[in-house]
């Protein structure tokens, strides 16, 4: 069975990274944007990283420009924005598409594993969140309006489970 650990993605600095690097950890995979009404969620995502990272958790940020062209910059501009404005320390990846024929294979997998409202697969907006358990299985899908802080109980539950 395919898990998120079977995928790789290009980091924001251009390095190809296998997600198996985080095998045994719980993950929160988020499509992000710098000019979105939800951009302030970077602060909450960073707090989750700082709070739960030492316990085997990581936030993975994937910039996407498919929603209202709200991520127009290149990777270096995005990285600088995230560092300067929000002090982001969690891994950031190169811009990806999350919907359509050009969707990154990881996002195709995430969407198929946990559909949205009424069984739809398409991601509706920036800051859609996918929570992944320690076995690499998609444990939950959350809308843009779900704040990072609201995920704390689910993250605690996943971290309490033994690593596979």
Does the annotation count 82 as an active-site position? no
**Contact indicator for 63, 32 with CB cutoff of 8 Å:** yes
- Which among 26, 28, 36, 64 is annotated as catalytic? 36
How many Cβ atoms sit within 10 Å of the Cβ of residue 113?
17
- Give how far Cα 66 sits from Cα of 7, 50, 110, Å: 21, 29, 17
Please identify which residue in the block is written with the tokens 């811009």. 95
Distance of CA 95 to the CA centre of its chain: 12
State whether residue 125 is helix, strand or coil. Answer: coil
**Contact indicator for 106, 89 with CB cutoff of 8 Å:** no
What is d(CA 130, CA 108) in angstroms, rounded to the nearest whole number? 12
The set of catalytic residues is 36
């Amino acid at each position: 069975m395919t898990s998120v650990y079977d995928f790789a993605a290009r980091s924001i600095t251009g390095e190809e990274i296998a997600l198996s690097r985080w095998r045994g950890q719980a993950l929160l995979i988020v499509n992000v944007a710098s000019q979105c009404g939800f951009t302030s969620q970077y602060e909450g995502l960073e707090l989750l990283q700082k709070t739960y990272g030492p316990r085997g958790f990581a936030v993975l940020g994937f910039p996407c420009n498919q929603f209202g062209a709200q991520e127009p910059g290149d990777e270096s501009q995005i990285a600088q924005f995230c560092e300067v404005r929000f002090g982001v320390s969690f891994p950031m990846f190169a811009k990806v598409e999350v919907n359509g024929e050009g969707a990154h294979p990881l996002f195709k997998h995430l969407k198929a594993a946990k559909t949205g409202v009424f069984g739809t697969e398409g991601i509706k907006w920036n800051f859609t969140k996918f929570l992944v358990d320690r076995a690499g299985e998609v444990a939950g899908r959350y809308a843009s309006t779900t704040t990072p802080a609201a995920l704390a109980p689910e993250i605690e539950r996943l971290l309490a489970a033994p690593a596979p």
